[in-house]
Each structure stands twice: as C-alpha cells, then as structure tokens.
Amino acid sequence: MQSDLSAARFSEKPPSSSALASRQRTRRSAFVGVSLIVFLAFLSTKLQGLRKTRFGGYPQQFLSSASTAVCPQVDALFPNRNADLWETTLQQTASSHFKARSIDLLAGAVQIPTESYDAMQPVGVDPRWDVFGEFHAYLARVFPLVHANLKLQKINTYGLWYEWTGLNSTLKPVLFTAHQDVVPVGPFTGGEWTHPPYSGYFDGHRVWGRGSADDKNGLIGILTAIETLLENGFTPTRTIVAAFGFDEEASGLEGAGELAKVLLGAYGQDGLAFIVDEGDGISKTFGTVVAYPCVAEKGYLDVVVEVTSPGGHSSVPPDHTASPGFALAFTVLTLVFADHRYSRRSPRPVRGQSVPRAARTLSRASVPFQTFQCLAQYGSTLPPAIKALIADSVNSDMALHTLEGILSKDKLYRSQIGTTQAVDVVSGGVKSNALPEEAHAVVNHRILAESSVSAVREHNVALLQPLAEKFNLSFNAFGVGVSQPGVPSSGNLTLRDLSDALEPAPVTPTNGEISAPYQVLSGSIKAAYNTRRAANNDNSTLIVAPSIMSGNTDTQFYWKLSPHIFRYGHGNSAGLGPEDILDGIHTVNESIDADDFVEIIRFYITLMLNADESSVL
C-alpha cells in the first residue's frame, strides 16, 4: 500500500514525540452483539462435530495464514508534507488546556436545546426552529478564525455550508458533515438523568447532555479541528467543506435535503473526493480492536396496510371473514410471524408465480459478509470452529447457509444480514359496541443493500394476496389492482406507502484501485488511534472493517456528490456497561468521554492533513 498511497508516510507506530497518555477504550458498534459472543462460544463445541460430519473438515489454511485479500489492511497513515504541523497539533491537543477548552466548547453547544420534531412546519413558520439562530451565534463566537477565514452560506436559513478554499482548484474537495439538531428529551424522563439533559455538565470524566454523543460531538469536533489548523497557520491545498443540516432527526428534508441541492450545483456530480458523516466507531470485538466505518446504508420503506368493510352494531356481527378487524389481525400476524426478516424463506408463490428474493440469504457480495471475514481473520478470541466456518463460507454454499443460520440467532446480527420489517402502528375501530369500518397497520422495512424498494413491495404483495382471497377482499397494492373477487367483495385490502421510500445507498468501494479514499480513511483512523495507545505501552492492533448502517443519516441526500461516502464517528468509549453501550444516544443519560472527544478532534485533523497532501484521491 505504500506505493499506492505515495505522498504520505506509513508506519506501524507513530513518531515517538507524538505519544499521548490515554486509557484503552471499547465501544459497541452495529456489529458487536454481546449476546452473540456468549452464544458463539457455546456453539463452537457443536461445530467441531458439525465440521466433520457435514463439511468434511474446514480448510486449515484459513486458520493459519488467512489471505489478506479477504480483509485488506493499510498501515497507519501519517502526514508527510504536513508532518511538522501534525506533530505540533499532537502536542497541542495533548495539553490539559486544550482538553479543558474542548470540553467547554462541547458543553456550550449541548446547553442550547436544538430539538427537531416530526411534522414541523416550514422554517419561518414554526417558531421551534428559532433556537438554531441562537446556536449559530454561539458558533460564530467560539470559532472566530473559522468565521473569519472560511466562506459561510446559510441554506434555508439554518443549514450551514462552510468552504475553506484550497490553493489547487483541480483537486476534488472533501466534505465533513454533521447535524445541529438533537432528538427531544422525553417530558417525563427529566428525573432519570444523572445530570440535567441540557446542562453540558462535566464530571471530570464525561460531558453529559443531549447531543454530546449525537451529533454535536461531530460538529464541534470538525470546527475545532479547523480552528486548530487555522491557529497554526495552515492553508489547505485541497478545498475542505463542512455542511451541517438541522433536522436529521426528523428526516433531513429541510436541512441536508436543501444543502445537497446547492452543494451539487457548486461541486457537480461526483465532484467531491469523499464524504464523512456520523456513524459507527471503535469496539473491542473478539479480543481485537476494530474500527467500523459504514460504507453502506440500508433503504427504508413504510407500508400502510389498510382493511375496510361495512360496519354495524356489534350485537349482530358478521362472519369473521367479513370483519376488517379480524382480517387485519390475521394480516399483522402474517407479517410478524410468517417472514419477518426475509432471509429464512419466502412466502408461498401465488398461482404458480415466482416470488422475488428480498435478500433472503447472506450474500458474499454484501458488506456484512466483509465484516465477518475481517472478524474471522483478526478476531483473536473468536472460537476456532466459527472462524473456520466463516472462512469456508467464501467458497462453500453449505457453510454460507450455516453461517447465516448462526448469525440469525442474534437479533442485532440478524438485522444486519437481511431486510427487516417491524409492525410499529396498529389501529382500528372507534367504539366497543360498533363494528370497525376501517383498520390499519404501519409496517417499517429496513432494506438490505442487495435488495430494493420494488423487491420489498413485491414481497408484501405476494405475502398478503392469499389473505385477500381468504377474506374475500378486493386487493389494491401501491396504486395497482391486484385481485378482485368474482363475487361481491366483503371489503378492501390496500397497501400504500406512508412516505417517500428510500433505496439502499450505493456501496462505497473498499477494494481495488478505486478504493483510495477508503485506504486514506483507514490509515488516518489507525494513526489517530495510535496517538493514544503509544504512551500506555498498549500493544493492541487496530483493524478496520467495513460495515453497514442500519439507520439513515444525512448522507442519503449526498449520493450524487461522491461515490465514496463514509459514516464514521471515531467513537472509542471507555468501560461502558451494556446498559450504557451507546452512550445514551436517543435516550436518557447521553454523554461522551472527554478524552474520547479530544481523540475525535485529532482524528479530523489527521484526516484533513492526509487528504490535503494525497495524490490518489
């Protein structure tokens, strides 16, 4: 990799002068199922016999010398041309003064309750947006060099677009993004917080409050990195862009949705070298420290299932087959139990027609498959039988199927390897003595990258058409008449979208000549991590494994800007118990480790400098 990433120095260890005091930390990412670790340990004994009876033994070469092509790694990447500046920033960010200043910056941001809600009225109409003006004034005050040296445009009033113009306009810019808004604090949860949710309280170890981990740590981290580079006289060669939406927690249409339009106009399709947004971080998994940049993101589809039929007095009920409430109950049970994650079996074909595959199996082309290969290759405590099974799944369909079955035992891993569906809303009827004239359910789908919105819609149609026939209902699905009973129908079964559907995101390349941005990111992650472990004589090795984002970030609006999109937060939290494993994100007691936050800033500085001098982006 050294020759491919020229213009930068690679090394297993950072320069000795960059050693910084730290403690080793662990964080759970989307791929770290605590319950699965216990389960795999138990299962490994079973698989020892299975490998002999069903597979005739797994290839031992996978256990002794796994191919690096399965999970390619680059060395830590340190700035070369900007080496002196990088060393200076390392010393600066290691100081107690810098840490205290960074804590104050984040705490101040947390103290401004920039909450976004579902179904808010447009900017300028709904007064709940006004708090973002206060937040902007805060940013202008605490980041004076950023606001004096970068171009700032406000899009749709509260969207922030910063541009730090580089000296070489032929180089593609890089985009760092985060969101200003936070999820509201539940009105009845105030007493459950260790420290008030908008206090920004620092207890000597952690900063507490809504937004501290999602996502003001990213926003303040990016701006602090830029402010620090400006303080040291840096002028970028490659343009650096920062864009901050303000309603990510409520779909992102007003913020990133509008920002994307102007960014596309300014930089053009595929006009950015790469994009980094919030996402997974670092975790100790099977004895190995692993960083999980998300290079894919699931699609999204909400389907309304509606049943209607004539009502009446409950004292004279119709046959059950004519009751919309009864039909809906069967529909919901079918959705919940018959095929709830699309990856064990498909519904029975209707009238001899084939049913589309909606990511029914773990695919070798999928990002989760790459992740598991990395864990098998580098996970030091992964049970040998499981490691062999994962390795064998590269070529053996039977091993692949067995692996899928094992992963399906854990709900977290199960959600990663297939399209999921969840019945989230069910309603019907208005009075205990009146037959319901309408009943409906809302079903949420998270769509795997190998599937599509159309495949999931078709799957729903195939799954529910037998029910329409069973209950003698006319069936209309997504604006198309599917079936009409030969006799007068008892009612209607309708499927429709609740809101705009989202296709799965394009997958960012992680291998081959077109994967240079992923390599630069990986090397920068390792360099930032190494700066903390060196001073502690910590010999742990960080590996980088691509992963998939189950939720959706503001990057859903940025697909046209770059084929290289990373959802990564460099979180590396310390000693959290299972109940706090996600730093209280979207719930009570949201907080972040202060040393962790400083490392996040250092990561952004490292990546900005590496990208600035890279000749391969």
Residues placed in the known binding site: 179, 214, 249, 277, 586
Catalytic residue among 163, 247, 248, 613: 248
Instruction: Give strand pairing partners of 299.
Output: 447
Rounded Cα gap, residues 227 and 29, in angstroms: 29
Binding residues for Zn(2+): 179, 214, 249, 277, 586
Residue 593's SS3 state is strand
Catalytic residue among 163, 181, 280, 404: 181
Rounded Cα gap, residues 438 and 259, in angstroms: 40
DSSP-based helix, strand, coil % in the chain, nearest 5:
40, 20, 40
Contact present, 408 and 343 (Cβ < 8 Å): yes
Residue 498's SS3 state is coil
Rounded Cα gap, residues 337 and 333, in angstroms: 6
Cis link prior to 215 (omega < 30° from 0)?
yes
CA dihedral (297, 415, 281, 270) in degrees, to 10, reads -10
Residue 222's SS3 state is helix
CA dihedral (135, 138, 144, 149) in degrees, to 10, reads 10
Give the CA distances from residue 207 to residues 99, 100, 388, 593, in Å, rounded to whole numbers and listed in that order.
12, 11, 42, 6
Instruction: Give strand pairing partners of 308.
Output: 438, 492
Supply the Cα-derived Rg of the chain in whole angstroms: 26
Residue 299's SS3 state is strand
Contact present, 251 and 557 (Cβ < 8 Å): no
Do the strands 240-245 and 159-164 form a parallel or antiparallel pair, or are they unpaired?
antiparallel
Q: Is 258 annotated as catalytic?
A: no
Query: What one-character DSSP code corresponds to residue 367?
Result: H
Tokens of 71: 């999970």
* Angle, helices 397-407/384-392, rounded to nearest 10 degrees: 130
Q: Is 115 annotated as catalytic?
A: no
Q: Which of 576, 289, 575, 411 has the alpha carbon at shortest distance from 39? A: 411
Which amino acid, 575? Answer: G
Q: What's the CA angle centered on 60, arms 55 and 65, to 5 degrees?
A: 140
Spell out the alpha helix ranges (H) of 511-575: 516-533
Q: Burial level of 68, CB count in 10 A (0-12/13-18/19+)?
A: exposed
Which amino acid, 85? Answer: L
Q: Which of 68, 337, 56, 104 has the alpha carbon at shortest distance from 201? A: 104
Catalytic residues, by residue number, are 181, 248
